[in-house]
Amino acid sequence: MDYGLQDRVILVTGGGSGIGRAIGIEAARGGARIAVVDAVAERATSVAAELRELGAQAVAQTLDVRDAAACEAAVARIEEQLGAIDGMVACAGISPPAPAHTMPDELWTRCLDVNLTGMFRSLQPVGRRMLERRRGAIVTVASIDGLGGHAGRAHYSASKHGVIGLTRALAIEWGRFGVRVNALAPGVVDTPLVQANIPPDHLQYAMVDRNPLGRLCRAEEQAGPALFLLSDAASYVTGSVMTVDGGSAAGFFTRWNGADLGSRALLEAGAYGAPE
C-alpha cells in the first residue's frame, strides 16, 4: 500500500525487532529512507541490511534511549546521513513481568526509564528540529495496557499510561508549529518480546481465547496504522490514540464460547450458528 512516504526520512527507535522492524520494512517498501535505531547493534545492522535489500536507503544506529546526550548525537548523525527527519516512530520498550508487591525497585526504574523517560529523551531532539522546520509527524508506541491495567506488569502499564499522556501533551504543545503527535496502542503482538515474557498457557487463555478475532496480532499489522498516522492522509489527526488490538479493549466479555451471559443467550437463540 502506498502511504505517500517516498523519499521521506523516517527514524524508528526499537527498529531492530518486532513492531519497529515491521514498520521499517513497510516504510522502506514505500520508498522512505529509514534510520533503524536499536539498543542492540547487531539487530539494528541486520534490519538496515534487510531494508537495503528491498532497495531502500537505510542506516543503522545503536542507541540507549535513556542517554539524553547520546539521543542528541544520534539524531544529528542520522540527519547528516539521510537528511532532515520527516517522521519518527518511538517504539523502544521493555516489558519484564514481576508481581507489584515484590518488584525490585531497579526493575520499576528501568522500565520507566526506557519506556517513558527514554521515549521523551529520544523525541526531544527530533521534535526540536521539526519545530524549527514547522513540519513533522511522530508516532509513539503505547499499548492497550496504557488504557487499563495488567496484572504482573504494574511498571509497564504505568509507563504506557505515561506515554499516552506525553503524546497528548506534545500534540497540544507542538500542533501550532506543524508537528503532529499520535499514539499507537497495540494489543498483544506476536513478537520475540511477547514470546519471552508471557507463558504459553497465559498467552492462549488471556490473550487469544479472549480476543474477539481469536488470534494474536502479527507485527506487520501494526505497520499500516503507524504509517497512516505518519502520512499526509492523517494531516488533521493529532493527539489521538489508535487502538490496534483485535477488539481486546472493546469490552469486558470478549470470549466467544457461550460462557459469557450475552454469548450464551445469542447461542441459545441460534443467532449466529456455531462459533468458529
Active site residues: 156
Q: Where are the beta strands (DSSP E) in the chain?
A: 9-13, 33-38, 58-62, 87-90, 136-141, 179-186, 241-244
If one counts every other C-beta atom within 10 angstroms of the C-beta of residue 233, the result is: 12
SS3 204: helix
Max Cα-Cα span within the chain: 65
Please tell me the distance from the alpha carbon of residue 162 to that of residue 156, in angstroms, as a whole number: 10
DSSP H or E stretch at residue 227: helix 223-230
DSSP annotation string for 15-62:
TTSHHHHHHHHHHHHTT-EEEEEESSHHHHHHHHHHHHHTT--EEEEE
Please tell me the distance from the alpha carbon of residue 274 to that of residue 256, in angstroms, as a whole number: 10
Residue with cell 522502506: 28
